[in-house]
Amino acid sequence: MNSRSGNRGMSDFSSNGNEGIGGDSVSKAKRKGMTNELRTMKRLEALGYYCVRSAGSHGLFDVVGIGPSDVKAIQVKTGRWPGSEEMEAIELLAVPPNVSKEVWRWDRYQRHPKVRRVK
């Protein structure tokens, strides 16, 4: 049957190997990003933070960690720092004094991220 009827044949999928049944594909880049967001959360949770991941959003921050005395708003990157426009948007966001705006960059084969605190 064709894709309009709800049943899909193999010809309805691309041949790049990234698509699954029903279009639940996750690109390799998105999968890497999600993995590093989860690594970030795991690291923060080990330090006593309660973490929330902003899955699927295109906001300024990917992970927010709430600690007993501070909050970390984190943009997670894989293999690169944010561009100048993205950094400017993070810098311009006004936050209370106990909120730390940070960018965590995970590089290939590294066990720890490079962390930049944004003013």
Token couple for 19: 């698509």
Is 39 a residue whose pLDDT tops 60?
yes
Q: What is the mean pLDDT of residues 23-47?
A: 88
Higher pLDDT, 29 or 114: 114
Which residues constitute the domain of residue 74? 17-118
Average pLDDT, the chain: 84
Calculate the CA 108 to chain-centre distance. Answer: 16
7 assigned to some structural domain:
no
Residue by residue, DSSP assigns 52-100 as EE-TT--SS-SEEEE-SS-EEEEEEEESSPPPHHHHHHHHH----TTEE
Give the CATH number of the domain where residue 93 resides: 3.40.1350.10
Number of domains, the chain = 1
pLDDT class of 25 with cuts at 50, 70, 90:
low
User: Tens digit of pLDDT for each residue in 62-106?
Assistant: 999 999 999 999 999 999 999 999 999 999 999 999 999 999 999
Give a yes or no: residue 9 inside a domain.
Answer: no
Of 58, 86, 53, 92, which is closest to residue 72 (Cα–Cα)?
A: 53
